[in-house]
């Protein structure tokens, strides 16, 4: 996998976030302030533009640029969180022109670590962590078990969606939803939902690699 | 766009431009006080940077007007960073504002406690430090409707933000140093508590739809300022019943010394007119006096709003002589002005 | 009562008591400026009567807060007579207010042009004259939405009332005589024009029902301040289209000298938040400058309202040096304060 | 007819205005500010209380007291107008203990004159004058034709109601409704409507006289 994989990943995220924009807004309106869909769409639209301008950078560098772009265009909680996540993930790849499955797992693990570090959320707090952490673990486990990267990332997507659905019964402890206390129970977390979209987008990008 | 505006009872052009166009209007109305840097999307005190003066900046999502842009001026904020409606600004805005107002004595970031605001201000403070600006940050979290805990995002920052900006702004204007101004913000936050109620939702221009739907005759108790639903929903009671809920929530948490002097801030959420806010103030004032407390200062009006939401919030600050003196000190901003 | 309040998104106790309870709250919040005489239902400047100073009083139906009670204080009104919501006060109130503020130099009655206000003030002025108080009356009629004619009730008094109270109040404070203060009110009325639009109706507490029903996406053009329907209904346009209508209506009637200095007053009707009012101000300011006029002073906020109606009005006053000086003069009231 | 006739008249007005309160409010909401029903109800409730306190005054005096009470309790346009009207009507009767049909006509004529003098409205301006003036003329004409007072006042009520209905097609030239210009056309004037109630109340008072 190489720079094209990253560019495709970002384009895939942009189109699926745009397609799911209203759904994400509805989810956020129920337990937040109704802007998650707009925030993510605005951010990844800017990322796609930024990467279009960038020609010939290595994949790690592209992820850093994508992260910076999110930080500088999204605002809200998701901007700095996903922004730092992609920056951290990009640094893992350094200047390598290509990367393999294990390195991809390292990228996602670094992204997860930076989200948890910045946001201080743990599994079960009803945040994006609840989708991202199971995805990282599934990816690692399947690769360790010798599965090909496509199968492993497919499992990661399934794990992310399971984690996303698992947020429904939870009471939020982080983010705006936590202000609702028990009223946050019974609603799916918007950030976990967009995270599942992001992992599924990665799966398509990996599948389409040259 | 026509479609979207038709869903709303708003004066609006392109919804995506509402924040920029409103800020342009603010600057056109108050050129003597502030300027609007459209490129950086920040509102800056006209005479900034003031050499040797500690600077205060704040920011957050828009939709809370006059907060924060309406509080830029003499004796209050040096700059404001308005994000999109209900979305915190990005670090680039806070960094630009910090550099625009730094007079060498340091810059205080007043941050309302929302994950988005906190994280974006955090990244901005790191960048500012990298560029050699002394920055301190204080997070405001006065909303007693939110149960606090080590393991949660904690309480929201609401009404106390206005009081902290005025009082710490006066300290900075009077020449206090970075540590002292920072400490003043903290003291206001420690001695202030708030509680809000909504009689309607509000309609963000981008979506054109109410965030939650509140049938007539129902009321949301314990709301914030982003149109988010409250802690619980109840049937609408009389104003004095609502005041009982607000005062009890605030006072039981603040636990002021008996007989202590209070600053009482009755705030409208944007769609509630002054006739109702004064009615509420009368009930609050009487109830506090009955409880042996002394409302010696007050602020009644819509200063930290949630678009056109119908509702109100109560903020009580326990005063000492210094906080009182700083509150009384001259202020000249679009939204608050006295002594000058 | 529970039933009635449930029909509304209002903070309310007994609807019949809303005016009295709101005035009590106003007095509790501003004891340094004014007192509320509950028996006479009037709001009186704390230090009234001022020996030798011409006194100004105004009044009208309630529901327009802060008008008029919020304008009682130094440099503006000496007393206000609030009627029930949207119903003019009775002569006994104006008589009591006139006697309470008369310092021997005479009393000016500022009357908004509504049949009820005019007739009740007329009877009060007769009674006051019988009791030996020198009284002059000026009727404010600045609303260009109403076609004027000898055979009709004429134009309504709206936004110019606020400007006249401030400017004539400054003249009186500076020691001007009865004739001069009266003339100042007249000059403001002659050089000011207004036009209002509504995006929603409003709900009088007594009836608990909207006065008219305005579907979303429609707008009433040429409204007054009593929730009455406007001259015509249109589909909601963009803010700048609405501004075109307001500015054209006002300027084509006022016909200011080209290049003249203007005071531009963008007023909210009670339910429209500041983010929208500043957006409107920006459009108005730009449009006036394009027309070769100079907006050198402005007032942006909800100062003469129609309960919680969503809407706004534009008032333009053509300034001369004296009017500008009087506008800039110190004022200290609950709703307007500067220079002190 | 005597003092009791006046007291009964006022009581009859109070009850019918109270019964029609919402209707008057609706009419006023359409072309005014929706308070006419509340204003009239508040005023005549106070009048009934004031007259209950007053024992033994002659009829003219009672009308003056009623007028003063309206002025001091109603506000709005209708307060001073009906207040001055009753005061003027009362002065006509001086201190006489009784009055006949012609004197009653003089009372209503004086009331009409003071409404027109204070409000400067003429017939056709879409105001209470459009109901009161035809009533006065009908009363005078029938009495001149030798009809008994009951029949004459009955005709006055009919004329008042005709005048009231005749306001519907008119464009208002006085009062709040005039602000609506052409939009005032097609609505019945609230003040003319309450005026018809007042004349009908007088008819019942006259019929019930001892
Ligand atoms: N402290 C946190 N750690 C991890 N994720 C968080 C945290 N706070 C919020 N989130 C995620 O951010 C999402 C909301 O993002 P968004 O709506 O764009 O920002 P905002 O809440 O500022 O409006 C939530 O659904 C949640 O998944
Ligand atoms: N100038 C006038 N002359 C006679 N009657 C008038 C005049 N102006 C208003 N009215 C009457 O008063 C009625 C309205 O009374 P009301 O609603 O109680 O007062 P307001 O218009 O002040 O709210 C109108 O329907 C009309 O019949
Ligand atoms: Mg959100
Ligand atoms: Mg947000
Ligand atoms: Mg009225
Ligand atoms: Mg009326």
User: Cα of B335 to ligand 2 centre, how many Å?
Assistant: 40
Six-digit token string for C292: 């070769």
User: Which ligand lies nearest to the CA atom of residue D78 in the structure?
Assistant: 2
To the nearest whole number, what is the mean pLDDT of chain D?
A: 96
Residue B149: the pLDDT is: 66
Cβ contacts from B onto C, under 8 A? 204
Nearest residue, CB atoms, B22 vs list C26, C275, C285: C275
Determine the Cα–Cα distance for residues D52 and D181; give it in Å rounded to an integer. 43
B185 CA: distance to closest CA in chain C (Å): 25
In chain B, whose CA is at the least distance from the CA of A72?
B90
C273 Cα to the center of ligand 3, angstroms: 22
Separation of alpha carbons C68 and C111, rounded Å: 11
Strand, helix or coil at A197?
helix
* Per-residue pLDDT tens over the stretch A151-163: 999 999 999 999 9
Going by pLDDT thresholds of 50, 70 and 90, the confidence category of residue B6 is: very low
Specify the pLDDT at position C3: 31
Query: DSSP label at B79?
Result: E
pLDDT at C259: 97
**Which ligand has the nearest atom to the CA of A179?**
1
| pLDDT (mean) for B8-34 | 96
B228 closest CA partner among A28, A81, A187: A28
Q: Which of B25, B282, B335 sits opposite C282 (nearest CB)?
A: B25
Known catalytic residue: B68?
A: no
* Cross-chain Cβ contact B7/C298 below 8 Å: no
pLDDT for C274: 98
| CA distance, residue A48 to nearest chain B CA (Å) | 19
Distance CA A157, CA A136 (A): 9
What pLDDT digit, counting tens, does each position of B99-152 carry?
Answer: 999 999 999 999 999 999 999 999 999 999 999 999 999 999 999 998 776 677
Please pick, among B30, B64, B68, B109, the residue that the annotation labels catalytic: B64
Q: Residues 6 or more apart from B215 whose CB is under 8 A from it?
A: none
Which ligand has the minimum distance to the alpha carbon of residue A77? 1
Taking the CA of D189 as reference, the closest ligand is: 2
The interface predicted TM-score (ipTM) is 0.93
D167 has a pLDDT exceeding 80? yes
> In whole angstroms, what separates CA B70 from the centre of its chain?
10
Chain C residues whose beta carbon lies within 8 Å of the beta carbon of residue B275 = 18-19, 22, 62-63, 65, 307
Tokens of C200: 């929603």
Give the pairing of strands B107-112 and B55-62: parallel
Distance from CA of D105 to the nearest CA of C (A): 26
pLDDT digits (tens, 9 = 90+) for A116-173: 999 999 999 999 999 999 999 999 999 999 999 999 999 999 999 999 999 999 999 9
CB pairs under 8 A between C and D: 109
Cβ of A111 less than 6 Å from ligand 1: no
Give CA angle at C153 (C134, D89), nearest 5°.
70
Tell me, in angstroms, the distance from the centre of ligand 6 to residue C94's CA: 20
Comparing CB atoms, the residue among D30, D71, D178 nearest residue C91 is D71
- Ligand 2, atom 24, residue with closest C-alpha: D191
- Ligand 1: centre distance to CA A123 (Å): 14
Contact A176 B153 (CB under 8 A): yes
Which subunits have 3 or more CB–CB pairs within 8 Å of chain D?
A: C
CB contact under 8 A, C65 and B275: yes
Report CB contact under 8 Å: B91, A80: yes
Cα–Cα distance for residue pair C236/C230, rounded to 1 Å: 14
Average pLDDT (B290-308) is: 98
Q: How much of chain D exceeds pLDDT 70, in percent?
A: 100
Q: What is the mean pLDDT of each run of 10 residues along chain C (340 residues)?
A: 50 95 98 98 98 98 97 98 94 98 98 96 95 97 83 89 98 98 98 96 87 86 86 89 97 97 98 98 98 98 97 98 98 98
Structure tokens at B34: 């502030």
Question: What is the predicted pLDDT for the residue at C215?
Answer: 85
| Nearest chain B alpha carbon to A22 | B207
Distance (Å) of CA D84 to CA B296, D49, D108: 47, 19, 12
Place of tokens 């003092």: D3
- Of C61, C207, C227, nearest to D25 by CB-CB distance is C207
C-alpha to C-alpha distance for B149 and A173, rounded to whole angstroms: 9
CA torsion sign for C83, C89, C90, C93 is positive
Mutation for testing the C interface, residue in D179, D182, D189, D190 having most C CBs under 10 Å? D179
3-state secondary structure chain C: CHHHHHCCCCCCCCHHHHHHHHHHHHHHHCCCCEEEECCCCEEEECCCCCCCCCEEEEEEEECCCCCCHHHECECCECEEEEEEECCCCCHHHHHHHHHHHCCCCCEEEEEECCHHHHHHHHHHHHHHHHCCCCEEEEEECCECCCCCCCCCCCCCCCCHHHHHHHHHHHHHHCCCCHHHHHHHHHHHHHCEEEEEEECCCCCCCCCCCCCCCCCCCEEEECCCCCCCCCCEEEECCCHHHHHHHHHHHHHHHHCCCCCCEEEEEEEECECCCHHHHHHHHHHHHHHHHHCCCEEEEEEEECCCCCCCECEEEEEEEECCHHHHHHHHCCEECCCCEECC
Identify the weakest region by mean pLDDT among A103-112, A155-164, B287-296, D176-185.
Answer: D176-185
DSSP D48: H
Q: Which residues of C61-80 are buried (b: 16+ CB within 10 A; e: fewer)?
A: bbbbbbbbbbbbbbbbbbbb
B106 preceded by a cis bond (ω within 30 of 0): no
D14: helix, strand or coil? helix
What's the pLDDT score for residue C1? 29
Element (DSSP H or E) covering residue D79: helix D78-93
**Cβ distance of C152 and D178 shorter than 8 Å:** yes
Task: Measure C223 CA to ligand 2 centroid, in angstroms.
Answer: 18
Place of tokens 């309202």: C305
- Taking CB atoms and an 8 Å cutoff, what residues of chain C touch D73? 90
D58 lines ligand 2 (CB under 6 A): no
Location of structure tokens 């079960």: A124
Alpha carbons C206 and D71: distance in angstroms, whole number? 21
Q: C-alpha distances in angstroms, B87 versus A75, B140, B169, B205, D16?
A: 6, 17, 25, 12, 58
Tell me, what's the pLDDT at D90? Answer: 97
The secondary structure of residue A177, as a DSSP letter, is G
Which range (A52-56, A71-75, B50-54, B253-257) has the least confidence?
A: A52-56
In chain A, what residues touch B95 (CB-CB under 8 Å)? Answer: none
pLDDT exceeds 90 at position B292: yes
Please report the pLDDT score of residue B208 as a whole number. Answer: 84
pLDDT of residue C69: 98
Q: Residue C26 corresponds to which tokens in the numbers above?
A: 């106003």
Return the DSSP state at B272: S
Residue A22 pLDDT class (50, 70, 90 cuts): very high
The percentage of residues in chain A with a pLDDT greater than 90, rounded to a whole number, is 91
Ligand 1 contact, A134 CB (< 6 A): no
Hey, which residues of C are catalytic here?
A: 64, 226
Per-residue pLDDT at B7 exceeds 70 = no
Residues 176-215 of C with CB under 8 A from B: 199-200
Distance (angstroms) between ligand 3 centre and the Cα of B300 equals: 29
């Amino acid at each position: 996998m190489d720079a094209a994989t990253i560019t495709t990943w970002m384009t895939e995220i942009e189109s699926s976030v745009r397609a799911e924009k209203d759904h994400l807004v509805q989810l956020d309106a129920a337990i937040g302030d109704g802007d998650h869909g707009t925030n993510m769409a605005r951010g990844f639209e800017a990322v796609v533009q930024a990467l279009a301008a960038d020609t010939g950078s290595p994949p790690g560098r592209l992820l850093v640029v994508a992260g910076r772009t999110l930080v500088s265009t999204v605002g809200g909680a998701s901007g700095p969180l996903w922004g730092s996540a992609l920056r951290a993930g990009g640094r893992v790849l350094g200047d390598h022109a290509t990367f393999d499955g294990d390195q991809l797992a390292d990228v996602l693990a670094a992204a997860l670590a930076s989200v948890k570090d910045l946001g201080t959320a743990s599994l079960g707090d009803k945040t994006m962590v609840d989708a991202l952490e199971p995805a990282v673990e599934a990816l690692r486990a399947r690769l360790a078990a010798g599965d090909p990267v496509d199968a492993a990332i497919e499992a990661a997507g399934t794990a992310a969606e399971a984690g996303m659905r698992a947020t429904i019964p939870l009471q939020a402890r982080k983010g705006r939803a936590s202000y609702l206390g028990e009223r946050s129970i019974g609603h799916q977390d918007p950030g976990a939902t967009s995270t599942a979209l992001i992992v599924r987008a990665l799966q398509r990008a990996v599948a389409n690699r040259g | 766009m026509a479609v979207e505006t038709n869903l709303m009872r708003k004066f609006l052009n392109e919804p995506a431009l509402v924040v920029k166009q409103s800020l342009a209007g603010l600057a056109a109305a108050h050129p003597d006080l502030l300027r609007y840097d459209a490129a950086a999307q920040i509102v800056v005190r006209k005479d900034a940077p003031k050499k040797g003066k500690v600077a205060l900046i704040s920011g957050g999502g828009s939709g809370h007007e006059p907060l924060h842009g309406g509080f830029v001026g003499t004796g209050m904020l040096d700059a404001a960073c308005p994000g999109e409606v209900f979305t915190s600004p990005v670090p680039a805005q806070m960094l630009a504002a910090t550099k625009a107002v730094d007079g060498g004595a340091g810059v205080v970031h007043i941050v309302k406690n929302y994950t988005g605001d906190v994280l974006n201000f955090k990244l901005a403070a790191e960048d500012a430090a990298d560029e050699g600006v002394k920055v301190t940050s204080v997070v405001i979290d006065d909303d007693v409707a939110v149960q606090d805990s080590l393991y949660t995002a904690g309480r929201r920052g609401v009404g106390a933000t206005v009081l902290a900006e005025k009082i710490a702004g006066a300290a900075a204007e009077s020449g206090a140093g970075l540590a002292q101004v920072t400490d003043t913000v903290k003291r206001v936050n420690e001695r202030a508590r708030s509680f809000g109620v909504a009689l309607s939702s509000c309609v963000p221009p981008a979506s054109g739809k109410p965030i939650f739907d509140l049938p007539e005759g129902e009321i949301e108790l314990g709301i914030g300022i982003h149109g988010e639903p409250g802690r619980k929903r109840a049937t609408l009671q009389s104003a004095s019943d609502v005041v009982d809920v607000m005062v009890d929530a605030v006072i039981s948490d603040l636990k002021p010394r008996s007989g202590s002097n209070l600053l009482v801030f009755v705030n409208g959420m944007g769609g509630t007119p002054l006739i109702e806010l004064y009615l509420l103030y009368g009930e609050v004032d009487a109830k506090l006096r009955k409880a042996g407390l002394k409302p010696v200062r007050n602020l009644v009006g819509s200063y930290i709003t949630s678009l056109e939401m119908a509702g109100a919030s109560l903020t009580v600050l326990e005063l000492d002589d210094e906080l009182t003196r700083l509150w009384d000190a001259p202020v000249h901003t679009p939204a608050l002005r006295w002594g000058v």
